[in-house]
Structures are given as C-alpha cells and as structure tokens.
C-alpha cells in the first residue's frame, strides 16, 4: 500500500477542487470514490436530523406501540397523538434509518428497531443528548471562550437531592447495565471478598455485581452529599463517604473498581486518584478500570466523546496505553489491557500487586 501513497496523496489534495471532482467522477474508480464520499458527507451533515427523529419517535411512544409486533398506521397515529401526514413522514424517516419497515399501511420494527426499543441505556442517552444539542447551538462560544458555561456542565455539577441529581442517577442506572456486564467478565470473586466501588454514585455497578456474587462485601465510596441521597435498595451496601483524591480509601480490599470515572476528569485528578488507590492496596488487592477508551477502528466513538467532553468542559477519552502508563507511574504492577468484547461500550484494564 505504501508504494501507492504518493498517488493517493495527490488525489486527496485535489479532492476539494470542483473541476477535479467532475472529471474524476467520469472515471469508474473516481466515480466509486465520489459516491462513497458523497454518502459519507451527507451522513455527517444529517447526523443531527437522524438523532432528532429518533428522539421524536421515543417521545411520542412509537417504540412502545410497536414492540409487540406490527400495527396499522392509523393505530400509530391515534396512540401516539400524531396527525397522519406527520406520522407518515416520521415513519419514512425511521424506515430510512433502518429502524422500521412499512407495507400496506402496516408498520413493524426491524431487528435494529427491536434492539433499540429494548435498550434502556441507549434510550436514556438519546433523551440526555438534548442538553448537549442545546449547548452545541453555541459551539463557537464553547470553542473560543473558556469561561462560557454550558448546560451540560451544570448538569454534571448537580446538587444531590435536586431534580438534576435524580436525573443523573437514573441515567447512570439505565446506561450502566452493559458496561457492568462487560466489566464482570474480568472479575473473579470468592465468598467474603471485599469490593470497593470508587465514585460509584448510587451503587448501580455494585447492584449489578451483587447479581453475580451473593456473598461478597460491597463498599460504596463517594462524596457524603451523594451517599446521603442513596435510595433504599435490596442489597446491603457499606457506605464510605469522602473525596476520592484526598480522603483515605478503605484499606486492603480484594477489589477496587473505577467504572466510568477516570474519563470524566483531568489528568491531575486521574493521577491523584490512582496514587490514592495504590496507597490503599494490599499485596492481594486488584484494581479494575472500565470505561470507553480511544479505539482507532471506531472513529465515531472518538468523535462523540471528544465533543461531549468539550461541552462538559472537563475530562477526555484516553488510550489504553495512556491509562496503563499512568497506572505504572502510580506504582501498580501487572497492568493488563484486557481484550474487548464490545469496545464501543467499554474497555477494561486491570492491575494487580505492587511494583
């Protein structure tokens, strides 16, 4: 491939020239490239519209109407409260996205549509993204003015016990299931083992863990004001209030977990937190980190999180190699980047023992 690189570079550099585009489109390889790029550029420019149609369908209850099988267009109009012309356009949009198919005035979910309808986490994130989209209306200010405050920033600075705090906890609960499932693939516990989930909010990950391991001690470490609003649950949690960078963590646990925590913070906070975990380690202790990480083959994932953290005003998506290096710098040994069953959702890194 390297022998053709000069030719490819020459072609790429001229791709913005309209006259070159017209001439290249008449040559069959150029025509194929032009078609592929036109489709890609259209999807890039139309992505916001796609997401809004998905959100609109969710808000009007369309997926609930279809999740038990196909229904007539008229029934959809009545049950969703959408006039005929608008429902026809909504269904046509969803059909274009591969979520439904319609025939003889009857609408049915596709396999992708059923997958979305049954994924509470994905649907919660689609609703949550309205905050992001509102902020992106002022994206130039976000880029140029470091003092510009965003709604998404305010959301993550929620006050526990507030409506925003309740929304945050619900979002974490709904969107964590698959992350927890993938993380648990790399966990092995025995009866009586002690697990400390750091920055675990209202304990969504520990509840998932309790479904697999009934006889382990579950410790939840988070800010005092967060733990004060913890709803009563059906599992026993030992609450450990504190600041995960400056407060001493419970000492000598068998497993410490950081699930979707590190990517929300700047490098200095991440480094301080890892050093704090290392100080709590005993020779038998293990650390598990589970969160999305930079994945070269998933450009959309990288673009999404770069945009999200830009608007959130803190945090960044890191490579597995970056996190592994930070773990070693903090003192950890036996740092392993685990194979990823579903890297779009999460990657897992483990560390065991002292250096």
Q: How far apart are CA 156 and CA 17, in angstroms?
A: 44
pLDDT of residue 225: 85
Is residue 16 exposed (0-12), middle (13-18) or buried (19+ Cβ within 10 Å)?
exposed
Tens of pLDDT, residue by residue over 14-66, are 666 667 666 666 666 666 666 667 777 777 787 888 899 999 999 999 999 99
3-class DSSP state of 185: coil
Mean pLDDT of 262-270: 95
106-109 sheet: strands from edge to edge: 71-72, 106-109, 100-103
3-state secondary structure 239-308: EEECCCCCCCCCCCCCEEEEECCHHHCCHHHHHHHHHHHHHHCCCCCEEEEEECCCCCCCHHHHHHHHHH
Q: Per 3-state DSSP, what percentage of the chain is helix, strand, and coil (rounded to 5)?
A: 55, 15, 35
Place of tokens 């913005």: 16
Segment 298-318 shows an average pLDDT of 91
Model confidence at 190: pLDDT above 60: yes
Question: Which one, of 306, 326, 323, lies nearest residue 314 by Cα?
Answer: 306
* Coil, helix or strand at residue 352: strand
Taken in order of first residue, the domains within the chain and their CATH numbers are: 18-116 (1.10.10.10), 176-298+314-352 (3.40.50.150)
- The mean predicted confidence, pLDDT, of the chain is 87
Pick from 118-122, 166-170, 267-271: least confident: 166-170
Would you state the pLDDT for residue 331?
94
pLDDT at residue number 201: 85
Q: Which residues contact 276 (CB under 8 A, 6 or more apart)?
A: 244, 245, 246, 248, 249
Distance linking the first and last C-alpha atoms of the chain: 42
Average the pLDDT over 251-266 and give the result.
95
What does the pLDDT read at residue 41?
A: 76
Output the six-digit token pair for 2.
Answer: 């390297």
At 96 the pLDDT is: 94
Residue 313, phi-psi category: left (phi > 0), alpha (psi -120 to 50), beta (remainder): left
Residue 245 has pLDDT above 90, yes or no: no
State how far the alpha carbon of 323 is from the alpha carbons of 49, 90, 181, in Å: 35, 43, 21
Read off the pLDDT band of 2 (50, 70, 90). Answer: low
Whole-number Å distance between alpha carbons of 123 and 117 = 8
Determine the angle formed by the axes of helices 73-80 and 84-96, rounding to 10 degrees: 110
Contact status, residue 78 vs residue 62, Cβ threshold 8 Å: no
Average pLDDT over residues 192-201: 94
Average pLDDT over every residue of 60-81: 95
pTM of the model: 0.83
Residue 227 has pLDDT above 70, yes or no: yes
Averaged pLDDT, 319-326: 96
pLDDT number for residue 25: 63
The separation between CA 200 and the C-alpha centre of its own chain, rounded to angstroms, equals: 16
Asked if 279 contacts 103 with a C-beta cutoff of 8 angstroms, the reply is no
Q: Angle between the 84-96 and 28-59 helix axes, to the nearest 10 degrees?
A: 130
Residue 165 is encoded by which pair of tokens?
A: 């705090």
Phi-psi domain of 338 (left: phi exceeds 0; alpha: psi -120 through 50; beta: other)? beta
How many other β-carbons are positioned within 10 Å of the β-carbon of residue 223? 15
Q: Which tokens belong to 218?
A: 């579950």
């Amino acid at each position: 491939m390297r022998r053709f690189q000069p030719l490819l570079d020459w072609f790429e550099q001229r791709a913005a020239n309209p006259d070159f585009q017209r001439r290249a489109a008449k040559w069959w390889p150029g025509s194929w490239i032009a078609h592929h790029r036109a489709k890609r550029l259209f999807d890039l420019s139309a992505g916001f519209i796609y997401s809004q149609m998905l959100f609109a369908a969710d808000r009007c209850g369309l997926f609930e109407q279809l999740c038990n099988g196909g229904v007539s267009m008229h029934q959809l109009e009545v049950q969703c409260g959408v006039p005929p012309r608008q429902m026809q356009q909504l269904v046509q949009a969803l059909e274009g996205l591969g979520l439904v198919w319609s025939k003889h005035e009857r609408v049915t979910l596709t396999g992708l549509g059923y997958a979305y309808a049954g994924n509470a986490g994905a649907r919660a994130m689609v609703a949550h993204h309205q905050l992001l989209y509102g902020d992106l209306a002022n994206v130039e200010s976000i880029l140029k003015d470091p003092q510009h405050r965003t709604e998404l920033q305010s959301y993550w600075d929620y006050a526990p016990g507030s409506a925003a705090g309740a929304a945050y906890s619900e979002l974490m609960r709904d969107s964590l299931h698959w992350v927890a499932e993938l993380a648990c693939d790399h966990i092995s516990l025995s009866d009586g083992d002690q697990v400390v989930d750091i920055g675990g909010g209202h304990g969504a990950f520990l509840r998932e863990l309790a479904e697999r391991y009934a006889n382990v001690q579950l410790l939840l470490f988070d800010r005092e004001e967060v733990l004060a609003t913890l709803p009563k649950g059906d599992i026993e949690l030992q609450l450990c209030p504190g600041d995960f960078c400056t407060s001493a963590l419970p000492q000598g646990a068998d497993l410490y977990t950081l699930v979707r925590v590190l990517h929300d913070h700047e490098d200095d906070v991440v480094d301080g937190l890892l050093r704090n975990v290392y100080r709590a380690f005993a020779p038998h202790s293990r650390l598990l980190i589970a969160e999305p990480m930079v994945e070269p083959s998933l450009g959309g994932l990288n673009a999404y999180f770069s945009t999200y953290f830009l608007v959130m005003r803190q945090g960044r998506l890191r490579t597995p190699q970056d996190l592994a290096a930070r773990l070693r710098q903090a003192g950890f040994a036996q740092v392993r980047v685990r194979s990823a069953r579903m890297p779009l959702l999460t990657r897992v890194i483990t560390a065991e023992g002292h250096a």
